């Protein structure tokens, strides 16, 4: 099994023992003593020249422009134009006749049949699934068949709404017919 040498990282503020050994520091790595003094002197000299040219050069005086206040006279609006069209007068006296068809109040109600089964237990099972969707259904016996129906509905639109609700619950095959 191989041994792994793991060292702890150096804490900040402490010198690493490996770099602080008694090695001589090379002349390349030593900071130059006269460089900061020379750079500071050059920067002061440069700012002095720039300052002299900015403040010593005379600037031409800009003429002062005095704006005269203009007094606006209140402008009066022109007179309202007179209408030139005839239709404005004819529309005021015009009457429109609309024929509204009379609704046929003798509409037949609708029913929705969702299944027809030979066994009553199957019909009752479908009736329970429909009840879980919040709808009321009935099981009617017709001959040897047990039909699961919903309704009556006065119009077809509420029946369609309930059919779509059942389709979202995976109950398919519902048909909408006139009530018998």
pLDDT tens for residues 26-37? 566 665 566 677
* pLDDT tens per residue across span 51-87: 777 776 566 667 777 776 665 667 788 888 876 787 7
**110-178 to CATH, choices 3.40.50.300, 3.30.70.1070, 3.30.870.10, 3.40.50.1860:** 3.30.70.1070
* Buried-exposed string 64-83: b where 16+ CB fall within 10 A, e elsewhere: eeeeeeeeeeeeeeeeeeee
> How buried is 139 (Cβ within 10 angstroms: 0-12 exposed, 13-18 middle, 19+ buried)?
middle
Q: What pLDDT is stored for residue 116 in this prediction?
A: 95
Q: What pLDDT is stored for residue 30 in this prediction?
A: 60
Q: Which residues of the chain have pLDDT under 70?
A: 1-35, 56-61, 68-73, 83, 105-106
Q: Is the pTM of this model over 0.75?
A: no
Q: What pLDDT is stored for residue 128 in this prediction?
A: 96
Q: Tell me if residue 29 falls in helix, strand or coil.
A: coil
Q: What pLDDT is stored for residue 97 in this prediction?
A: 87
Beta bridge partners of 138: 149
Contacts of 171 (CB under 8 A, 6+ apart): 114, 126, 129, 130, 133
């Amino acid at each position: 099994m191989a041994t792994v040498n793991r060292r702890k990282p150096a804490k900040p503020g402490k010198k690493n023992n490996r770099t602080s050994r008694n090695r001589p520091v090379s002349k390349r790595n030593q900071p130059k003593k006269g460089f900061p003094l020379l750079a500071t002197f050059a920067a002061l000299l440069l700012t002095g020249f720039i300052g002299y040219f900015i403040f010593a050069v005379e600037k031409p005086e800009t003429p002062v422009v005095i704006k005269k206040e203009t007094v606006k006279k209140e402008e009066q609006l022109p007179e309202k134009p007179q209408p030139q069209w005839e239709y404005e007068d004819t529309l005021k006296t015009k009457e429109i006749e609309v024929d509204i068809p009379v609704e046929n109040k003798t509409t037949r109600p609708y029913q929705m049949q969702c299944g027809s089964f030979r066994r009553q237990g199957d019909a009752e099972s479908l009736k329970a699934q429909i009840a879980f969707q919040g709808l009321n259904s009935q099981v009617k016996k017709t001959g040897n068949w047990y039909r699961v129906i919903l309704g009556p509905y006065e119009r077809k639109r509420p029946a369609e709404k309930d059919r779509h609700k059942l389709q979202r619950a995976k109950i398919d095959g519902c048909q909408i017919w006139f009530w018998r």
